[in-house]
Chain A
Amino acid sequence: MNAGPATPAADSPVTASRRRILARTRLDFWLDALLLVAYTLAYSLGFTGIATHEWLGIGLGVVLLVHLTLHWDWVIRTTRKLLRRGGRERFVWLVNLLLLLSMTLCIASGILISEVALPELGITPAAGSFWRQMHDTTATLTLILVPIHAALDWRWVVGVARRFAAWRPGRSR
């Protein structure tokens, strides 16, 4: 009979720490996958329709806050060492900064020009053409930056996906 995984109380500090890291990796992987799928759907306005597009955009904003919070350590660390780091690290930082700016402005302008979601909540936004133009421009910029942002970490994605593929229930990895 399979004894199953050991209880947390019996874990050595190394195993417990490893478990925490793996749990965090799993959370990062699935949250990133969710963000990519949600963004792809939200960008495809013709497929989703305006109501789903707006609610997805608002949800995306909330999940993005969590994504940024989980990676805040990286932001601080890389920003501090920016001058000492090599070209690739600087490029990744720049892509991420541009993505933060464009995604934030895209979601904010989307909320300001909302036609369904906000009126449903009893709020009538009165934004002008500036925000409409801003939404279009930042959405296009975001469509370029999102796949670049995701692909820059392709080795991590492949590594984690491989580990998940090899995972068997009841086996601690």
Chain B
Amino acid sequence: MKFLRHLAAVVLVVAVIVGLGVLWAHTSGGAGPRPAPSPEALLRLEQIKEQIKTGVIRVRSDNGFHLADTGNLIRTCEIEAVLAVAVITVSVVRRRRHRTRRTTARA
């Protein structure tokens, strides 16, 4: 029962955030559908479709992990690791400094 009450509160908060986002989109005029493409863009699209049909452009099916692009995953992990290490270092240094100050004050 408590879980459901909390879940309802969370859903409400999330709904408010999304609602504010939609409001922001409306006020900035970006909430509407995408503008119709220009005749040049449509022509280029037809050319690309033709190139796909004739095999000039090869399309890779996009329904799984691209193990060849592990570099992308590694880069994400590296960014996360660097930030986490920075936060942990600051935390350790602060804690040590705090402890030293307390020991000095006691002495």
Of the candidates B6, B7, B11, B77, the one whose C-beta lies within 8 Å of that of A40 is B77
Asked if B42 is at the interface of the complex by the 8 Å CB criterion, the answer is: no
Residues of A within 8 A of B3 (CB): 69
Is A47 a contact partner of B65 (Cβ separation < 8 A)?
Answer: yes
Asked if A22 is at the interface of the complex by the 8 Å CB criterion, the answer is: no
Given A104-B18, A130-B25, A69–B65 Cβ distance below 8 Å?
Answer: no
Interface residue tally on B, bucketed by range: 35 or more
Is B70 a contact partner of A134 (Cβ separation < 8 A)?
Answer: no
Size of A's binding interface in residues, CB under 8 A: 44
Given A44-B72, A126-B34, A147–B84 Cβ distance below 8 Å?
Answer: yes
Asked if A63 is at the interface of the complex by the 8 Å CB criterion, the answer is: no
Is A49 a contact partner of B64 (Cβ separation < 8 A)?
Answer: yes
Given A108-B18, A128-B31, A47–B10 Cβ distance below 8 Å?
Answer: no
Asked if B9 is at the interface of the complex by the 8 Å CB criterion, the answer is: yes
Q: For residue A125, which residue of chain B has the nearest CB?
A: B33
* Minimum C-beta distance from A112 to chain B (A): 9
Residues of B1-59 whose CB lies within 8 A of A: 3, 6-7, 9-11, 13-14, 17-18, 21, 25, 28-35
Asked if A23 is at the interface of the complex by the 8 Å CB criterion, the answer is: no
Is A151 a contact partner of B10 (Cβ separation < 8 A)?
Answer: no
Is A131 a contact partner of B25 (Cβ separation < 8 A)?
Answer: yes
* Minimum C-beta distance from B101 to chain A (A): 15
B residues lining the A interface (CB < 8 Å): 3, 6-7, 9-11, 13-14, 17-18, 21, 25, 28-35, 62-67, 69-73, 75-77, 79-81, 83-88, 91
Known: A100-B13, A151-B86, A152-B87. 19 other contacts (CB 8 A): A45-B72, A47-B65, A47-B66, A47-B67, A47-B72, A52-B63, A68-B10, A73-B6, A101-B17, A104-B17, A104-B21, A129-B30, A133-B30, A143-B79, A151-B85, A151-B87, A152-B91, A154-B84, A154-B91
6 contacts between A and B (CB under 8 A): A44-B69, A51-B62, A128-B31, A133-B30, A147-B83, A148-B87
